[in-house]
Chain A
Amino acid sequence: MFGFEKHQLIVVGGGPAGLTAGMYAASMKIDTLIIEGTSKPRLALAEVINNYPGFVEPISGVQLLSRMREQALKMGAKIVKSDVISTQLSSHPKMLTTRENKIYSADAVVIATGLQQQSLRIKNEQKLTGRGVSYCAVCDGPLFAGKTVALIGSGEALIEEAERLSGIVGKIYVIQVPPETVENKRITGISEKIELVEKARPIEILGEEYVTGLKISVSGREELLDVSAVFIATEKIPTAKLLENSGVRTDPRGCIIVDKDQKTSVEGVYAAGDCTCRGLQVVTAAGDAAVAAINASVYIRRKLKGVSR
């Protein structure tokens, strides 16, 4: 699919921040396109949201997203599903290219790309992804019901996935990478099915067509774990790879740096939601996105009148 499309504002991301930004900008009669990625937003994994104002009864992440999407469309935003793979943001108009080689241009851009799982770069991790290496316990866990699996990761993500897997699989070897991001007893307290392998480091995921085991190093000594799957649960990192060489400044964690108006270091480029690492809540993502959209809309109108920043 080759093609070219021009809009006043392009919002990159279809999570709560992206949909809110799109909804706000469209409601201000700005020609707005939301490019939602092909991966589901993190909110889609939330079974229940019970702290979003106005929703007295709990609502699932998928339902909340569906309503936000509907509202954005109702306000006049257009939505396409694709992945933005490269950007030119410093020039005017700003250009974005999607995986299908379609080029979009816009006067202003709101980045709301959220977070993504960090690869651990273990040998064979990439080769065996989808062949027993999984980043989604809630999706793929049921395929390994009753079996022995390994869970590698850190922080609250590790705790969450250990809780999910313990209700499904037979046994879980848990390895903290990097070590001791959470207290050991929090992990072992989840279920008797969990065996915490302390001071361990994964070396290689074994298997040709699918996972047959995991080679680890425990205090310098190599050991083999007989597992059918390796689940990876690392802290999420901002999806900011597409901003490389764009001039948009990020901090050492990769979080996009924004000011109080959600402006980035590049004129006409705004950011909101988890990719800025601020709040990491649905409500803060929506709030920041509204601020970003309002300021982007003002910027576009000023640009139309020939007034500089």
Chain B
Amino acid sequence: MVVELPPDVRRYIKDKFSKLVNPVTLHVFTTKNHCLYCNETLEIAKIIAEFSHLIKIEECECTTDSQTAKRFNIDKHPAIVVHGKEEYGIRFFGIPSGYELGSLVEAIVDASRGDTEIPPDVKEIVKSIGKKVHIQVFVTPTCPYCPIAVRTAHKFAILNRNILGDMIEAIEFPDLSQKYMVMAVPKIVINDKVMFEGAVPEMFFAQKILEAIE
């Protein structure tokens, strides 16, 4: 697969990245072993990084038992972890293509700013969470509704370092999709305990996290 960005997408990214403040590092994890879209994921990260001198790439071509992969808790490939003003739990598993390219671009902007736009009452709830939360958002690249759920998970990860927000491309990880019975996207799984489908409002999403950590 050749990764090419149409002119209007390039303009969109350029415009978005004019808002970057702090440096952002994309930690890209690839492997040579049975990885369908590792090369393309790395290529997307490199193309994105060309848009701003504030974005750099740290590539780790490594297995999941390597020291670096363990530090980032990477258990599958390909993966991108977005670190900006702080080391946030913003992660993409599988290729962030199609509609998810926008999720990656927006996550980079938020990570660089160290803040995100979210209603104040939701912000208050998310910031107050004191337990570890793992959000997995299953998507397909052709799903126009999915980025809303991915963005919410990543916004929450910006606000609270206890939160890990993962985008998971459902087709690339069939075992996981089967484990969580992903038959519609976006499907959200929180701490393996609470599951729901759909692009729901941020407050509803936050309430589901509270339900999961009860």
Q: Which residues of A contact B (CB under 8 A)?
A: 1, 38-40, 44-45, 57, 59-63, 66, 80-83, 99-100, 129-132, 134, 136, 138-143, 145, 209-211, 229
Contact = CB atoms under 8 A, between A and B. Distances in A.
B185 interface: yes
Nearest to A140: B184
B143 interface: yes
B200 interface: yes
B199 interface: yes
Contacts of A66: 12
Interface in B158-175: 170-171
Given A140-B183, A140-B185, A38 B144 contact: no
A134 B185 CA distance: 10
A259 B102 CA distance: 39
A42 to B, nearest CB: 10
A139 B148 contact: no
B124 to A, nearest CB: 11
B44 interface: no
Nearest to A64: B8
A100 B201 contact: yes
B140 A139 contact: yes
Contacts of A131: 181, 183-184
Interface pairs A-B: 10 shortest CB-CB: A139-B143, A130-B184, A130-B197, A44-B144, A142-B140, A138-B142, A132-B183, A140-B184, A40-B145, A38-B201
Given A39-B199, A142-B171, A57 B8 contact: yes
Contacts of A99: 201
Contacts of B143: 136, 138-140
Nearest to A41: B144
Interface in B190-214: 197-203
Contact of A38 (B177, B181, B182, B200): B200
B7 A57 contact: yes
B188 to A, nearest CB: 11
B201 A81 contact: yes
Given A131-B181, A132-B183, 11 more contacts: A1-B121, A40-B148, A61-B144, A99-B201, A130-B183, A139-B142, A139-B185, A143-B171, A143-B184, A143-B185, A211-B183
Contact of B181 (A59, A60, A210): A210
B74 to A, nearest CB: 24
Contact of B177 (A40, A81, A141, A143): A143
Interface string B100-117: 001000000000000000
A301 to B, nearest CB: 30
B201 A142 contact: no
29 contacts: A39-B145, A40-B144, A40-B145, A44-B145, A62-B102, A63-B8, A81-B202, A82-B201, A100-B201, A100-B203, A129-B184, A130-B183, A131-B184, A138-B142, A139-B140, A139-B143, A139-B184, A140-B185, A141-B140, A142-B140, A142-B141, A142-B142, A143-B171, A143-B182, A143-B184, A143-B185, A209-B181, A210-B181, A229-B183
Contact of B8 (A59, A82, A136): A59
Contact of B145 (A136, A143, A229): A136
Contacts of B141: 142
A45 B144 contact: yes
B99 interface: yes
Which of B146, B183, B187 neighbours the largest number of chain A CB atoms within 10 Å of its CB? B183
A31 to B, nearest CB: 19
Contacts of B184: 129-131, 134, 139-140, 143
Contacts of A142: 140-142, 170-171
A40 B199 contact: yes
Interface string B122-164: 0000000000000000001111111010000000000000000
B176 to A, nearest CB: 12
